[in-house]
Amino acid sequence: MDPTQKRQDDELLQLVTFSIGEEEFGVNILKVQEIIRTMEITKVPRAPEFVEGVINLRGKVIPIIDLRRRFGLMPKKHDKNTRIIVIEINNIIVGFVVDAVSEVLRIPASTVEPPPPVVAGVDSDYISGIGKLQDRLLIMLDLDKLLSNGDMELLGTM
């Protein structure tokens, strides 16, 4: 085995984990700017179905995307566990609504496998891998691929 491959396998991935329905997801912590409680979301006329609206976060208007809708799941009323994960994609700040944020995890890169073609009804294009933890599987999302270029252009104009 190539020594660089071994070093890569031993690399620890640091992830923010969150749930949507029964599934647990993870995103690279370096992509996450902050995690906030839900706040009043202003609806935007003629926005795509998965865009819940916009919020004003310290003077910045940020589009808010409901990941449940983005994944084609039934919408759920926000509760005390609902959070907004704020990230930057291609120089656009976006908030993703999730059912709950679980924890920050460090997992060895060697425990991550490529995704099967379709996982949990989520199109595998934006799944970067499946993390095998002791008692559960973690669907790892590539947030850069979660929105199409057309989606990003639309969000940039909001």
Q: If you write DSSP's letter for every residue of 81-112 in order, what string do you get?
A: T-EEEEEEETTEEEEEEESEEEEEEEEEGGGE
Mean pLDDT (whole number) for 76-93: 91
CA distance 48 to 142: 21
CA distance 16 to 137: 14
Domain containing residue 109: CATH number: 2.40.50.180
97-153 residue pLDDT tens = 999 999 999 999 999 988 776 654 555 678 888 998 888 889 998 877 777 656 666
User: How far is Cα 23 from Cα 131, in angstroms, rounded to an integer?
Assistant: 12
Between vectors from CA 120 to CA 54 and to CA 41, what angle results, nearest 5°? 10
> Is 49 within a domain?
yes
Q: Does a structural domain hold residue 27?
A: yes
Tokens of 68: 């449940």
> Could you tell me if 131 and 138 are in contact, meaning their C-beta atoms sit under 8 angstroms apart?
yes
**The predicted structure's pLDDT at residue 120:** 47
Q: What's the structural domain count of the chain? A: 1
Please indicate, yes or no, if residue 82 is contained in any of the structural domains: yes
119 lies in some domain? yes
Q: What whole-number distance in Å separates Cα of residue 9 and Cα of residue 35?
A: 29
Specify the pairing of strand 60-66 against strand 92-98: parallel
Reduce the DSSP state of residue 151 to 3 states and report it.
Answer: helix
The pLDDT tens digits for 5-27 are 444 557 899 999 999 988 999 99
The tokens describing 140, both together, are 């790892």
Residue 2 counted as domain residue: no
Buried b (16+ CB within 10 A) or exposed e, 49-66: ebbbbbbebeeeebbbbb
Residue 142 resides in a domain: yes
Q: Is residue 157 part of a domain?
A: no
Residue 78 domain boundaries: 8-150
8-state DSSP, 74: P
pLDDT confidence of residue 8: 53
For residue 55, pLDDT over 70 is answered with yes
Q: Are 141 and 26 in contact (CB under 8 A)?
A: yes
Tell whether 30 is covered by a domain: yes
Q: How confident is the model at residue 4 (pLDDT cuts 50, 70, 90)?
A: very low
